[in-house]
Amino acid sequence: MGGLGEFALIRRILSRLGTPAAADVLGPGDDAAVVPTPDGRVVATIDVLVEGRHFTREWLTAYDIGRRAAAASMADVAAMGARPTALVVGLTMPSASDLDWLDGLADGFRDEAAVCHAHVVGGDLVRSDLLTVAVTALGDLGGCAPVTRAGARIGDVVAVAGRLGWSAAGLRALQSGVTAGPLPDAFRRPEPPYDVGPQVAVCGATAMIDVSDGLAADLGHIATASGVRIDVDLDALRGLGTDGVGDDDLLTGGEDHALAFTIAADVDLSDVCTTIGRVRAGTGVHAEGRPIFGGHDHFA
């Protein structure tokens, strides 16, 4: 990369991203992008991934990192009940990085964004000894109210769409030298249920969150914001696991980017989610009558 120069590198990245088809989208090439907001409001979020903290190139290809980084931000948009529409990517990279590696990273961004019919519309590239990937995702609410963490009501059920514990078990497998199989693949490339966020928002979801730091921690955010207690049914939760995924993985493993939400008990969403608990009076998150804790905290 160091032999090519910043602007040639940017042109190389843009050549792999494609051009947004919509006439009202102004993508890369100017000082800023222009993205339509049909709803009149913009959902915005950012996730920062740092080499050695969130990923290592020993286990992940550049393509994996691109998809993983895009998924982390777009899942947050979906958790608000919105549809991801655009990504803005900031990169800090060593100048000795290989050009083919950069191509793979750009391809990963492009392909994960395409899952949601979104586009990479801009970004920034800076030389640094540390590889850092920062993805800002924008989204559209489609006329619906945002689903926050603060609306869970006593009597609601707690449901999950997507995988839980697979990424944590996959990381453990990679650390032990197992590089192939569904669990390592789940760590490399999460599969957030993007479409479920807007779907359950329309159906009346009262609170929702992207499970990035672990179910216990993230349900704890809903419980605190809503002023309620959440009781988790471990037997129902185990139905989301697979061979090699234990209770600790299901309760505290992060980075699968499942969506956990609360909704009235009489709404049938069994085709897209699994009911794993109830909202009750009280505080905290409990399982089998005991409070549960755990999950990832960068500064703990």
Binning pLDDT at 50, 70 and 90, where does residue 23 land?
A: low
The pLDDT tens digits for 157-196 are 999 999 999 999 999 999 999 999 999 999 999 999 999 9
Check residue 297 and give its pLDDT: 66
User: Each residue of 43-69: pLDDT tens digit?
Assistant: 999 999 999 888 888 899 999 999 999
Closest CA to 142 of 213, 41, 59: 41
Query: Please, are residues 200 and 81 in contact by the beta-carbon 8 Å criterion?
Result: yes
Alpha carbons 120 and 89: distance in angstroms, whole number:
7
pTM (2 d.p.): 0.91
For domain 157-291, give the CATH number.
3.90.650.10
Q: What are the extents of the domains in the chain?
A: 6-140, 157-291
**Fold annotation for 6-140:** 60s Ribosomal Protein L30; Chain: A; (3.30.1330)
